[in-house]
Amino acid sequence: MSEGYKEYRDKVLNFIEEHENWRSHTINLIASENITSPSVTRAVASGFMHKYAEGWPKARYYQGCRYIDEVELIGVDLFCRLFKSDFADLRPISGTNANQAVFFGLAQPGDHIISLHTSHGGHISHAGFGSAGMRGLNVHTWPFDNEEFNIDVDKAERLIREVEPRLVVFGGSLYPFPHPVKELAPVAREVGAHVMYDAAHVLGLIAGGQFQDPLREGAEIITSSTHKTFPGPQGGLILYKNLGEDTAKLQWAIFPGVLSNHHLHHMAGKVVTAAEMLEYGQKYATQVVKNAKALAEAMAEEGFKVIGEDKGYTESHQVIVDVSDLHEGAGGWAAPLLEEAGIILNKNLLPWDPLEKVEKPSGLRIGVQEMTRVGMMENDMKEIAHFIKRVLIDREEPIKVKKDVYYFRQGFQKVYYSFDYGLPLGE
Ligand code: DSN
């Protein structure tokens, strides 16, 4: 009997434990991450991970799905209620997978689509070099207004009429302000395009009624991941209106088009998260936006160049900072230095950066959703801004700041806006 490989098991389990200890003592500001409540974590670490359930609830290609069917049916009902959509499909296993389903179901190779350029905040799956291009779609990018940090509505309207796309895509990975769906969706519909909104970053804010409401503003389809402002496990989903004869095409593209089995344990985690958001989502999303504004203001007061000052800095969970004049390497210098101090965020291209600057972009992208979830309020955002200033402007040794970050973070160890811990003090 060989026990020669047990050390690898031990190493893996140790690394997981070390990772969890480390993360619980850092200030995580990655705008695309979050943490799950104990209930959601339990749902994911469950026997649902051991099943196949291809197909629809009550119409599976596998036996033994009775409990899984019950959970998925509860989930479809809760997501339709939460987002007031006609249909909810919890099967996509990621946001990119959800986008692929739309690209396969509602467009053909050679069709034109319009989406946001990656330098302007678009997601890689919307790009010519990503899933959209690999589906054979001709990708055009939205004209962008750097001053407004948003899609240029007049030029976009002209582009839609000129290109006559099959699909237009709103949403992306970097956008502090709502996209002009209301203004452009009617134009897109006029030329026969479907209107899709990739809500990956802002799904939790939409659930809480604190950002734009794409399905009411003219979008027909929301694709999303489920783990950014929406505090679920990693995964994806599609919410959609009745698309007429295209409904069946989209459904066929989801399964068997771009996935076979969905990840049932993640599906269960999404459903528990939907219940949390129906109960606590409004308060959570309100605090996320308040915290983002408070952090932006505090960073500006500390001397940082924060994007969007004349528009109140942000209406989402994101704060965008231009650090290009602080140091050679800009974001590529700042993000690793902050990691040494226990502050985790990512460097980001800003709209005026050429793509070659991807390793040394001008910007930092900051998201406050995870720190909101552990109970931080506006005053705590001031502390965070000061920690960041000590590292990037005062040039204090990161290790010294790290100690203070550690003790500060020690006071925030529960996951609020959940059935496990309820609301934080002050809510
Ligand atoms: N959506 C990306 C991000 O914003 O970090 C990950 O794919």
pLDDT at 426: 79
- Could you give the CA distance from residue 268 to residue 29 in angstroms, rounded to a whole number? 26
Q: What is the pLDDT of residue 251?
A: 98
Compute the distance between CA of residue 337 and CA of residue 344 in angstroms, rounded to an integer: 9
Residue 72 shares a structural domain with residue 144: yes
The minimum-distance atom of ligand 1 relative to the CA of 96 is 7
pLDDT at 161: 98
**pTM of the predicted protein model:** 0.97
Asked if residue 79 and residue 227 are part of one domain, the reply reads yes
Question: Is residue 64, in this structure, part of any structural domain at all?
Answer: yes
Sign of CA dihedral 131, 133, 137, 142: positive
Q: Which atom of ligand 1 is nearest to the CA of 225?
A: 1
Range of the domain at 151: 39-274
| Residue of the CA atom closest to atom 5 of ligand 1 | 32
- Cβ of 173 less than 6 Å from ligand 1: yes
Q: Where would I find the H helices in 231-263?
A: 246-252
Q: What is the CATH number of the domain that holds 211?
A: 3.40.640.10
In a domain, 257, yes or no: yes
167 and 291 part of one domain: no
Q: Which two structure tokens, joined as six digits, stand for 218?
A: 């003219």
CATH number, residue 360 = 3.90.1150.10
Atom of ligand 1 lying closest to residue 172 CA: 1
* Residue keyed to tokens 């003790």: 407
Both 141 and 223 in a single domain? yes
Phi, psi of 208 (to 5 degrees): -90, 5
Bridge partners for 171 per DSSP: 198
Total of domains in the chain: 2
Query: Is 7 a member of any domain?
Result: no
Q: How far is the CA of 400 from the centre of ligand 1 (A)?
A: 30
287 in the same domain as 248: no
Same structural domain for residues 142 and 217?
yes
Q: Kindly state whether residue 3 falls inside one of the protein's structural domains.
A: no
Boundary-marking domain end, from 274, 290, 310: 274
Ligand 1 and 225: CB distance under 6 A: no
Q: Is residue 302 part of a domain?
A: yes
Same domain, 318 and 400: yes
Give the per-residue pLDDT at 356. Answer: 87
Atom of ligand 1 nearest to the CA of 30: 5
Please enumerate in sequence order all residues whose Cβ is within 8 A of that of 305, keeping only pairs 6 or more positions apart, or say none. 321, 322, 323, 325
The answer, yes or no, to whether any atom of ligand 1 lies below 6 A from the CB of 349, is no
Binding site membership of 85 for ligand 1 (Cβ less than 6 Å): no
Same domain, 270 and 355: no
Beta-bridge partner residues of 347: 364
Instruction: Compute, in angstroms, the gap from residue 272 CA to the centroid of ligand 1.
Output: 23
Residue 426 lies in a domain: no
Reading the block at residue 386, the tokens are 């000061």
Instruction: Please work out whether the CB of residue 365 comes within 6 Å of at least one atom of ligand 1.
Output: no
What pLDDT score does 3 carry? 65
Contact 119, 349 (CB under 8 A): yes
Of 236, 256, 274, which residue is a domain's last? 274
Last residue of a domain, one of 243, 274, 305: 274
Which residue's CA is the closest to the ligand 1 atom numbered 1?
173
Render each residue's pLDDT in the chain as its tens digit; 427 residues: 566 999 999 999 999 999 999 999 999 999 999 999 999 999 999 999 999 999 999 999 999 999 999 999 999 999 999 999 999 999 999 999 999 999 999 999 999 999 999 999 999 999 999 999 999 999 999 999 999 999 999 999 999 999 999 999 999 999 999 999 999 999 999 999 999 999 999 999 999 999 999 999 999 999 999 999 999 999 999 999 999 999 999 999 999 999 999 999 999 999 999 999 999 999 999 999 999 999 999 999 999 999 999 999 999 999 999 999 999 889 999 999 999 999 999 999 999 998 888 899 999 999 999 999 999 999 999 999 999 999 999 999 999 999 999 999 999 999 999 999 999 987 8
Residue with token string 């994101």: 318
Distance 122 CA to ligand 1 centre (A): 9
DSSP one-letter string for 388-414: HHHHHTS---HHHHHHHHHHHHHT--S
Top mutation candidate among 28, 32, 116, 348 for ligand 1, by most atoms within 8 Å of CB? 32
Same domain, 354 and 249: no
- Same domain? 214 vs 285: no
List b or e across 266-293, with b for residues whose CB sees 16 or more CB atoms inside 10 angstroms.
bbbbbbbbbbbbeebbebbbbbbbbbbb
